[in-house]
């Protein structure tokens, strides 16, 4: 194996691409600084593709991919990768599902072979017993991460509040217990045949490998897998840029402190305006110098914590979310008033240039930090290839952020942070707080 | 056979942990530098021998509060100004205290490294611990403590430590302090703690990333020129068990859908000579995804999303704990399986297959652990904090490979103590209390409504 080059030139990483005849999109990025290689697969399917009555299925299916395939025994995928000295996992999101491993570079073939075996021949290994077992595991994952965790229902409550009924992003990602119980082996077969096809996937390899060698291995293992027959189109995803009002929901939950999540529809991930929104979000809630932290945590001392983030959805609409947890002595009404005032202030007066600079400087450092890890590089290559067919966008992120101006951020804020585009999801401690008075205090009746 | 399809590994490329230099600066600070050329980034990690085990009795949480307030105001800038200055440089300071040390850390792009490091050195050499900020951070800690009441994972961890160690052990209380101890802390306590502990003789600065050793030395000599000189105060640690035999505690959470379980006993100090065999033994027992406990509870029974065990390695003997969350109805059944696995690994030699899985994993995953400047800096901090030999990382993989099934069995017999197991369950007492009674886990106590 030739071990040369691969030196990153400041913040640019090398990117090569090719397609197999069966439609598999492959991206490669060499770096020989350590004998490590990351393999990462994105399937362009997520909870948005689930049919009615099968919420949680995309994620349950992700679990089944670790239960063996034609030539791999149950749990053997984990064992073989760990024996090789690798780390691995998978994750499911609204728009995609990914599977990834980082291994010593002399084990690249093993990682590719394992991924190809389950892409090509998963179904012979599927049994009712395995499905029942993983269904129990996933139900316990739901209990652990959602039901028995304070604010654990935030994602599903937020999806329900901000997306219209029947929108593909509206239903729960982890799924309901009923729907998980209903999932069958037939569903597995159908989902696999429809979505787990080479032409609906991106394979990325980042780290210490030889490009020629990697192409040969990919062609050998993935080449024989037949192309899919196409997937059903998603229902229309597009939504108006604003909610058209102020949506509100109050959740009485087993929590100690009130916490307000306020969401705004924002430009989809990858659009030019997305970067303005991302900077606006960082100005509001990234780190201690952000507006919300400075004002609500440090100066006014009404919040135990404050932040903001974007969902980074590439279809329909993205969401920008402000997240503020009250201090114990602060009432629910006061929490809402204080957050509203901050949002109103930035909406009316906009932000200053120094705030934009601070946000971009922090984001840029985070970008470089993330490129250190082969797994992160491979994941981002897959992401840009899956969403936009352009893995090379990985190298353009810093420039896109640098081109954001104060004027652009302020335009975004006046378009998206008004009262016609707010959704408040408010968690209040179960005992002693009346929902009606909370709503009355918030002025909605 | 289908397995013949499986690709064989190629020849492994050699890997070495980054070269580093360890020296004493003229002012007395210890400097460890690891130049790594990959991306234009560097991490500066300052560690001070002022962790939570240095908290004076009754002042539990002062180490964490001191580290937390360090960047909340200096003789030149207030806390908001400091945050703004660092963040304009694209970085922010993380500071805190764990059991064995206080840490202050930044990661910056190369061309901001000098400015950020100078600012850091100046700020933490001249903190003024404003009353208002000390009180604010105390209130934030109290909010965190309140939140634990409804957060079963954190609550289970905390209760486990409380039941494990005798009340006069620092390990029996949360590292950031209890509601009672935090309320009692004052600005003066913080200031005194800083003056007694933050000294050249107790401080190490670690630089990893895109900077040479010479440049690092010049930078730190300048940035830390006003760091208080002298030796830091030190303090001994009590880490005795609270209960001689087994006992079991239920923290009642009516209608909880799951029980958070913690089962274990006092473990070993980090410098114990059996570190490597114990590490491997634990990997087989509950450390890996393919460990006995996880495969049993998750894959064979579907009781849980995950189950694991670990030794919390500290200077003193930290806990050994098996940790999982199971559906309430199967709590006793899951607990029984955990006991079975602890007994089994003590009574018979692990198979060659299990040994090689754990050994190969720990050996071969080594390079993957040090991909980032922050990970390299943190590995170097481990050397300093636990006073490990300079060639610790050079010989790590050899030491892993030298562990045999016999040594694992000896470690299991010597360092797992079924007769001392403490069990904590945060869950619905009505559903779980009776069913666990016949497991012989000692006296059962139920807390809460």
Instruction: State whether B207 and B261 are in the same domain.
Output: no
Give residue A148's domain range.
Answer: 16-222
Taking residues A173-186, what's their average pLDDT? 96
Residue A233 placed within a domain: no
Quick check: helix, strand or coil at residue B264?
Answer: strand
Dihedral sign, Cα of residue B88, residue B89, residue B90, residue B91: negative
Tens-digit pLDDT profile for residues A53-103 = 999 999 999 999 999 999 999 999 999 999 999 999 999 999 999 999 999
Map residue B349 onto helix, strand or coil: coil
Q: Are residues A253 and A212 in the same domain?
A: no
- Nearest chain A residue to B357 by CA: give it: A83
Residues A273-291 have pLDDT tens digits of 999 999 999 999 999 999 9
> What are the tokens at B229?
């000189």
Rounded mean pLDDT, A420-443: 65
Q: Of chain A residues 358-417, which have a CB less than 8 A from chain B? A: 358, 361-362, 364-365, 368-369, 371-374
Q: Are residues A148 and A50 in the same domain?
A: yes
CATH number assigned to the domain comprising residue B319? 3.30.830.10
Distance CA B317, CA A259 (A): 38
CA of B235 to nearest chain A CA: how many angstroms apart? 33
Q: What is the ipTM of this complex?
A: 0.96
The answer to whether the Cβ–Cβ distance between A254 and B6 falls below 8 Å is no
Arithmetic mean of pLDDT, B148-153: 94
A75 and A162 within one domain = yes
Assess if residue B11 is contained within a domain.
no
Res A3: pLDDT: 31
CA atoms within 13 Å, Cβ hemisphere of B430: 6
In tens, the pLDDT along B406-419 reads 999 999 999 999 99
Give how far Cα B21 sits from Cα of B205, B288, B382, Å.
Answer: 12, 33, 15
Min Cα separation A1/chain B (Å): 10
User: Which residues, including other chains, have CB under 8 Å from residue A26's CB and lie 6 or more apart?
Assistant: A17, A18, A19, A20, A202, A203, A204, A205, A215, A218
Q: Band the pLDDT of B316: cuts 50, 70, 90.
A: very high
Which residue among B89, B152, B364 sits closest to A85, beta carbon to beta carbon? B364
- Are the Cβ atoms of B302 and A133 closer than 8 angstroms? yes
Cβ–Cβ of B147/A82 closer than 8 Å?
no
pLDDT at B244: 87
Residues A141 and A258 in one domain: no
Closest in A8, A301, A364 to B90, CB measured? A364
What total number of domains does chain B contain? 2
- Residue A125 is assigned to a structural domain of this protein: yes
Q: How confident is the model at residue B4 (pLDDT cuts 50, 70, 90)?
A: low
- The answer to whether residue A86 neighbours chain B at the CB level (below 8 Å) is yes
A11 domain residue, yes or no: no
Q: Are A204 and A334 in the same domain?
A: no
Same domain, B146 and B288: no
Q: How close A376 comes to chain B (CA, Å)?
A: 11
**Average pLDDT of chain A, as a whole number:** 94
- A11: pLDDT strictly greater than 90: no
CB B164 within 8 A of CB B319: yes
Instruction: For residues B257 and B218, state if they share a domain.
Output: no
Nearest-by-CA chain A residue for B295? A75
Question: Which of left, alpha, beta for A16 (phi over 0: left; psi -120 to 50: alpha)?
Answer: beta
Confidence label for A441 from pLDDT (cuts 50, 70 and 90): very low
Q: Where are the beta strands (DSSP E) in A194-346?
A: 201-207, 245-253, 259-266, 303-310, 318-326
Contact B355, B240 (CB under 8 A): no
Give the model's confidence band at A9: pLDDT under 50 very low, under 70 low, under 90 confident, else very high: low
B308 and B258 inside one domain: yes
| Residue B241 C-alpha, separation from nearest chain A C-alpha, in angstroms | 30
Burial of B94 (0-12, 13-18, 19+ CB in 10 A): middle
Provide the pLDDT confidence category of residue B301 given band limits of 50, 70 and 90: very high
Can you give the CATH number for the domain in which A170 is found?
A: 3.30.830.10
Q: Which of B223, B238, B269 is the last residue of a domain?
A: B223
Answer yes or no: is A361 within a domain: yes
Which of B92, B357, B366 minimises the CB distance to A83?
B357
Q: Do B368 and A10 touch (CB under 8 A)?
A: no
Q: How large is the average pLDDT for residues A123-142? A: 96
Would you call B16 an interface residue with chain A, using a CB distance cutoff of 8 Å?
no
**Within a domain: A234:** no
Instruction: Kindly state whether residues A140 and A192 are assigned to the same domain.
Output: yes
Asked if A71 lies within 8 A of B7 by C-beta distance, the reply is no
Task: Report whether pLDDT(A47) > 80.
Answer: yes
Same domain for A259 and A158? no
What is chain B's mean pLDDT, rounded?
A: 95
Tell me if chain B has a CB within 8 Å of the CB of A185.
Answer: no
| A389 in a structural domain | yes
Residue A145 has pLDDT above 60, yes or no: yes
A143-174 burial by CB neighbour count: b if 16+ within 10 A, else e? bbebbbbbbbbbbbbbbbbbbeeebbbbbbbb
Indicate whether A266 and A404 sit together in one domain.
yes
B110 touches chain A (CB under 8 A): no
> Rounded to whole angstroms, how far apart are CA atoms B125 and B131?
18
A337 and A215 inside one domain = no
Question: Taking CA atoms, what residue in B is nearest to A38?
Answer: B368
Tell me the average pLDDT across A98-109.
98
Q: What is the pLDDT of residues B65-83, one digit of tens each?
A: 999 999 999 999 999 999 9
- The residue with greater pLDDT, B173 or A445, is B173
Q: Is the pLDDT of residue A6 over 80?
A: no
B14, part of any domain: no
Model confidence at A29: pLDDT above 70: yes
- A 316-335 residues with CB below 8 A of B? 325, 327-328
Task: Report if residue B176 sits inside a domain.
Answer: yes
SS3 for B67-130 is: HHHCCCEECCCEHHHHHHHHHHCCCCCEEEECCCCEEEEEEEEHHHHHHHHHHHHHHHHCECCC
Question: Do A171 and A208 have their domain in common?
Answer: yes
Best A3, A68, A289, A327 residue to mutate vs chain B (most B CBs within 10 Å): A289
Alpha carbons within 13 A on the beta-carbon side of A167: 17
Q: How many domains does chain A have?
A: 2
pLDDT higher than 50, residue B241: yes
Residue A258 pLDDT > 70: yes
Look at residue A1 in the predicted model and tell me its pLDDT.
29
pLDDT tens by residue, B354-406: 999 999 999 999 999 999 999 999 999 999 999 999 999 999 999 999 999 99
Position B15 in a domain: no
A175: left (phi over 0), alpha (psi -120 to 50) or beta: left
The pLDDT of residue A12 is: 86
Residues A418 and A338 in one domain: yes
Q: Are residues B418 and B320 in the same domain?
A: yes
Residues A203 and A328 in one domain: no
- Decide if A22 touches B, using CB distance below 8 A: no
Q: Domain for residue B236, yes or no?
A: no
Q: Does the distance separating the beta carbons of B40 and A256 come in below 8 Å?
A: no
Q: Does the pLDDT of residue B2 top 50, yes or no?
A: no
Residues B188 and B270 in one domain: no
Judge whether A55 and A160 are in contact, CB under 8 Å. no
Residue that terminates a domain, selected from B223, B256, B287: B223
- Answer whether residue A138 is part of any domain: yes
Range of the domain at B26: 21-223
Tokens of B383: 């050397």
- Chain A positions in Cβ-Cβ contact with residue B14 (cut-off 8 Å): 35
Contacts (Cβ under 8 Å, ≥6 apart) of B8: A109
Residue B179 is inside which H or E element, if any? helix B179-184
Looking at the structure, tell me whether residues B278 and B355 fall in a common domain.
yes
- Percent of chain A exceeding pLDDT 70 equals 95
Q: Does B299 touch chain A (CB under 8 A)?
A: yes
Query: For residue A231, is it within any domain?
Result: no
Average pLDDT over residues B211-223: 97
- Which of the residues A7, A140, A256, A433 would you substitute to probe the B interface, choosing the one with the greatest number of B C-beta atoms within 10 Å? A140
Identify which has the larger pLDDT, B218 or B435.
Answer: B218
Mean pLDDT value of segment A15-42:
97
Set of chain A residues whose Cβ sits within 8 Å of the Cβ of B150: 150, 254-256
Query: Which residues in chain B are contacts of A66 at CB distance < 8 A?
Result: none
Asked if B52 reaches chain A (Cβ–Cβ under 8 Å), the answer is no
Q: Is A10 on the interface with B (CB under 8 A)?
A: yes
Tell me whether residues A78 and B5 touch, CB distance under 8 A.
no
Please tell me the number of Cα atoms within 13 Å of B274 on its side-chain side.
Answer: 19
Among B189, B223, B257, the domain-final residue is B223
């Amino acid at each position: 194996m030739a071990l040369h080059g691969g030196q990153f030139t400041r913040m640019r990483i090398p990117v090569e691409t090719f397609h197999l005849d069966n439609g598999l999109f492959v991206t490669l990025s060499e770096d020989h600084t350590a004998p490590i290689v990351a393999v990462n697969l994105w399937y362009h399917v997520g909870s948005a593709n689930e049919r009615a009555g099968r919420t949680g299925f995309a994620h349950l299916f992700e679990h089944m991919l670790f239960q063996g395939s034609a030539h791999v025994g149950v749990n053997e995928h984990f064992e073989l990768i760990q024996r090789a000295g690798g780390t691995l996992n998978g994750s499911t999101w609204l728009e995609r599902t990914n599977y990834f491993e980082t291994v010593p570079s002399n084990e690249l073939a093993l990682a590719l072979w394992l991924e190809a075996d389950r892409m090509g021949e998963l179904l012979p290994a599927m049994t009712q017993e395995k499905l029942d077992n993983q269904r129990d595991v996933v139900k316990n994952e739901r209990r652990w991460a959602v039901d028995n965790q304070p604010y654990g229902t935030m994602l599903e409550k937020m999806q329900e509040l901000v997306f219209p009924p029947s929108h593909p992003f509206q239903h729960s990602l982890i799924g309901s217990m009923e729907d998980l119980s209903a999932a069958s082996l037939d569903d597995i077969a159908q989902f696999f045949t429809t979505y787990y096809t080479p032409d609906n996937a991106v394979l990325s390899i980042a780290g210490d490998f030889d490009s020629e060698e990697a192409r040969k291995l990919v062609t050998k293992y993935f080449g024989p897998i037949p192309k899919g027959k196409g997937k059903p189109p998603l229902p229309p995803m597009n939504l108006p840029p604003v909610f058209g009002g102020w949506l509100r929901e109050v959740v009485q939950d087993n929590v100690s402190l009130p916490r307000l999540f306020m969401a705004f529809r924002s430009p989809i991930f990858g659009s030019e305006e997305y970067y303005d929104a991302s900077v606006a979000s960082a100005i509001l809630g990234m780190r201690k110098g952000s507006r919300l932290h400075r004002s609500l945590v440090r100066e006014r001392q009404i919040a135990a914590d404050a932040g903001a983030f974007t969902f980074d959805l590439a279809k329909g609409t993205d969401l920008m979310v402000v997240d503020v947890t009250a201090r114990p002595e602060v009432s629910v009404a006061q929490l809402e008033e204080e957050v509203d005032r901050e949002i109103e202030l930035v909406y009316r007066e906009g932000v200053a240039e120094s705030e934009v600079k601070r946000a971009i400087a922090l984001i840029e450092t985070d970008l470089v930090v993330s490129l250190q890890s082969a797994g992160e590089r491979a994941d981002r290559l897959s992401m840009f290839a899956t969403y936009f067919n352009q893995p090379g966008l990985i190298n353009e992120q810093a420039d896109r952020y640098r081109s954001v101006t104060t004027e652009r951020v302020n335009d975004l804020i006046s378009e998206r942070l008004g009262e016609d585009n707010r959704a408040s999801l408010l968690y209040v401690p179960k005992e002693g707080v009346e929902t009606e008075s909370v709503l009355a205090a918030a002025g909605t009746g | 056979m289908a397995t013949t399809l499986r690709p064989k590994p190629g020849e492994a490329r050699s890997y070495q942990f980054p070269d580093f230099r360890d020296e004493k600066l003229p002012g007395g600070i210890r400097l460890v530098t690891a130049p790594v050329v990959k991306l234009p980034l560097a991490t500066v990690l300052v560690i001070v021998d002022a962790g939570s085990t240095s908290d004076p009795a009754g002042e539990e949480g002062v180490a964490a509060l001191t580290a937390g307030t360090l960047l909340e105001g200096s003789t030149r800038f207030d806390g908001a100004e400091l945050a703004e200055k660092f963040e304009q440089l694209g970085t922010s300071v993380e500071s805190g205290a764990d059991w064995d040390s206080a840490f202050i850390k930044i990661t910056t792009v190369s061309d901001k490294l000098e400015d950020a490091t100078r600012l850091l050195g100046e700020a933490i050499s001249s903190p003024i611990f404003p009353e208002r900020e000390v009180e604010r951070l105390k209130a934030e800690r109290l909010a965190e403590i309140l939140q634990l009441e409804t957060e079963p994972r954190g609550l289970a961890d905390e209760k486990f430590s409380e039941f494990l160690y005798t009340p006069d052990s620092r390990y029996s209380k949360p590292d950031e302090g209890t509601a009672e101890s935090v309320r009692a802390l004052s600005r003066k306590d913080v200031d005194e703690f800083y003056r007694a502990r933050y000294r050249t003789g107790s401080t190490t600065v670690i630089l990893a990333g895109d900077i040479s050793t010479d440049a690092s030395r010049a930078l730190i000599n300048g940035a830390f020129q006003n760091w208080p000189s002298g030796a830091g105060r030190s303090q001994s640690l009590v880490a005795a068990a609270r209960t001689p035999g087994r006992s079991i505690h239920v923290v009642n959470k009516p209608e909880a859908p799951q029980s958070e379980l913690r089962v274990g006993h006092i473990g070993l100090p980090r410098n114990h000579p059996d570190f490597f065999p114990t590490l491997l033994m634990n990997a087989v027992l509950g450390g890996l995804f393919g460990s006995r406990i996880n495969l049993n509870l998750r894959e064979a029974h579907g009781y849980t999303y995950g189950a694991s065990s670990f030794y919390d390695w500290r200077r003193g003997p930290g806990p050994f704990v098996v940790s999982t969350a199971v559906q309430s109805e199967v709590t006793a059944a899951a607990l029984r399986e955990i006991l079975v696995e602890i007994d089994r690994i003590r009574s018979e030699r692990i198979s060659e297959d299990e040994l090689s899985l754990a050994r190969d994993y720990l050996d071969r995953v080594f390079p993957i652990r040090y991909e980032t400047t922050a990970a390299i800096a943190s590995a170097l901090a481990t050397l300093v904090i636990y006073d490990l030999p300079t060639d610790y990382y050079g010989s790590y993989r050899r030491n892993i490979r030298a562990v045999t099934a016999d040594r694992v069995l000896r470690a299991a017999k010597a360092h797992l103590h079924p007769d001392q197991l403490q069990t904590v369950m945060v869950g619905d007492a009505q559903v779980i209390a009776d069913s666990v009674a016949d497991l012989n886990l000692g006296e059962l106590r139920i807390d809460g409504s």
